[in-house]
Chain A
């Protein structure tokens, strides 16, 4: 499978714990995005990388959230001191700069439940 891969698919944690999600984009894609989706809502943009540079962060991304893409390939999204409001599906997407449609390819997401 050469699509976007996310790990873990499901994570249950207790309030106050730290969690980390990993995203492996499609190999030739230099753009990588993180979105968050809660039940009944569309995905909300969190942050965006072009290669290893984090070019934009949403105001939704509080200080407890940090994302990295150290070598311009895979990315990690860490949430520190989780809160119940962090429970959501975290989606990663990738795209190739200069592609005709700018199509984003999404992974299947990492579902976080904070107890």
Chain B
């Protein structure tokens, strides 16, 4: 299965925009790029999914370049409650999602 690479951790401050980049050099044609968020002692929660170009919802934006070998999750104006682990995954044609270690985002006052 294709793998993704993302930073282990990031720090930010309240009100800033946070961009988390994910590399997926071996992405397959039928793969979608999906991001999940996980708070301590909770299961992961779906944030956003995209195939190419840009996708935006009420929580985040997802930017995907034409070659689809990377993607960037953008969180506008983060707050303390956005402190969580963010996972970048490839989904499509598989019966399961494979999670990596994710990116630990810490938002400071």
Q: Are the CB atoms of B101 and A42 closer together than 8 Å?
A: yes
Q: Are the CB atoms of B43 and A45 closer together than 8 Å?
A: no
A48-B95, A56-B95, A108-B41 given; A101·B46 CB < 8 A = yes
A106 within 8 A of B: yes
Interface residues of B, dominant DSSP: loop
A93 within 8 A of B: yes
Q: Are the CB atoms of A102 and B96 closer together than 8 Å?
A: no
Q: B49: which of A48, A101, A107 is its contact (CB, 8 Å)?
A: A101
Contact count band on B:
20 to 34
Q: Are the CB atoms of B44 and A43 closer together than 8 Å?
A: yes
Residues of A near B43 (CB, < 8 A) are 4, 91, 93, 106-109
Q: Are the CB atoms of B99 and A108 closer together than 8 Å?
A: no
A9 to chain B, nearest CB (A): 9
Residues of B near A107 (CB, < 8 A) are 43
Which of B43, B87, B91, B102 is most buried by chain A, counting CB atoms within 10 A of its CB? B43
Q: Are the CB atoms of A109 and B41 closer together than 8 Å?
A: yes
Per-residue CB contact flags for chain A residues 79-115 toward chain B (1 = under 8 Å, else 0) read 0000000000101010000000111111111010000
Residues of B near A41 (CB, < 8 A) are 101
Q: List residues of B whose CB falls within 8 A of some A CB.
A: 32, 34, 41-46, 49, 85, 87, 91-92, 95-102
Q: Report the 5 A-B pairs with minimum CB-CB distance, sorted nearest first.
A: A106-B43, A42-B99, A103-B46, A101-B49, A43-B99
Q: List residues of A whose CB falls within 8 A of some B CB.
A: 4, 31, 33, 35, 40-45, 48, 50, 55-56, 89, 91, 93, 101-109, 111
Q: Can you pick out 17 interface pairs between chain A and chain B where the beta carbons lie within 8 Å of each other?
A: A31-B95, A40-B101, A48-B95, A48-B96, A55-B95, A89-B41, A91-B43, A101-B34, A102-B32, A102-B34, A103-B49, A104-B44, A106-B44, A106-B45, A107-B43, A108-B41, A109-B42
